[in-house]
Amino acid sequence: MIVDTVIHARWIIPVEPESVTSRIAPDNGSPVRESAPDALYEYHTLVIDDGRIIDLLPTAMARQKYQGTTTENLESHALLPGFINSHTHAAMTLLRGIADDLHLMDWLQNHIWPLEQKWMSEAFVRDGTDLAIAEMILGGTTCFNDMYFFPEVTAQQAMHHGIRASVGLIVIDFPSVWAENSEAYIEKGLALHDQLRHHPLISTPFAPHAPYTVSDEPLSRIRTFADELELPVHMHVHETLHEVEQEQQKTGQRPLRRLHELGLLSPSFMAVHMTQLTDDEIQLVAETGAHIVHCPESNLKLASGFSPIAKCLAGGINVALGTDGAASNNDLDMLGEMRMAALLGKAVANDASAIPAMTALRMATINGAKALGLDHEIGSLSIGKSADVIAIDLDRLETQPLYCPISQIVYAASRQQVTDVWVAGKHLLKQRHLTTIDITDLKRKIGEWRQRLSQ
CATH of the domain at 283: 3.20.20.140
Reported as type and span, the H/E element at residue 361 is helix 357-364
List pLDDT tens digits, range 394-421: 999 999 999 999 999 999 999 999 999 9
Domains identified in the chain, total number: 2
List pLDDT tens digits, range 139-155: 999 999 999 999 999 99
Please check whether residues 51 and 148 belong to one and the same domain: no
Instruction: State the pLDDT confidence band at 234, using cuts at 50, 70 and 90.
Output: very high
Please check whether residues 46 and 160 belong to one and the same domain: no
**Is a pLDDT exceeding 70 seen at residue 424?**
yes
**Is a pLDDT exceeding 70 seen at residue 53?**
yes
Does 449 reside within a domain?
no
Identity of the amino acid at 425: G
**Is a pLDDT exceeding 80 seen at residue 22?**
no
Question: Distance of alpha carbon 355 from its chain centroid, rounded?
Answer: 18
- The reported pLDDT for the residue numbered 17 is 58
List pLDDT tens digits, range 26-47: 455 544 444 444 589 999 999 9
d(C-alpha 317, C-alpha 323), whole Å: 19
Please check whether residues 258 and 197 belong to one and the same domain: yes
Please check whether residues 217 and 68 belong to one and the same domain: no
Please check whether residues 166 and 70 belong to one and the same domain: no
**Is a pLDDT exceeding 50 seen at residue 21?**
no
- The reported pLDDT for the residue numbered 16 is 86
Does 439 reside within a domain?
no
Please check whether residues 152 and 173 belong to one and the same domain: yes
Does 438 reside within a domain?
no
List pLDDT tens digits, range 99-114: 899 887 888 899 998 9
> Domain range for residue 8?
2-81+381-424
Q: CATH no. for residue 39?
A: 2.30.40.10
Please check whether residues 255 and 181 belong to one and the same domain: yes
Please check whether residues 131 and 212 belong to one and the same domain: yes
Question: Of all residues in the chain, what percent carry a pLDDT higher than 90?
Answer: 92
- Give the side-chain half-sphere CA count within 13 A for 351: 11
Q: Three-state SS for 312?
A: helix
Cα separations in angstroms, 195 against 100, 152, 157, 170, 351 = 38, 10, 15, 16, 48
Please check whether residues 41 and 186 belong to one and the same domain: no
List pLDDT tens digits, range 301-342: 999 999 999 999 999 999 999 999 999 999 999 999 999 999
β-partners of residue 146 are 88, 167
List pLDDT tens digits, range 206-220: 999 999 999 999 999
What's the mean pLDDT when you consider all of the chain?
94
Does 455 reside within a domain?
no
Does 92 reside within a domain?
yes
Contacts for 160 with CB less than 8 Å, ≥ 6 apart? 436
- The reported pLDDT for the residue numbered 107 is 86
pTM of the predicted model, to two decimals? 0.95
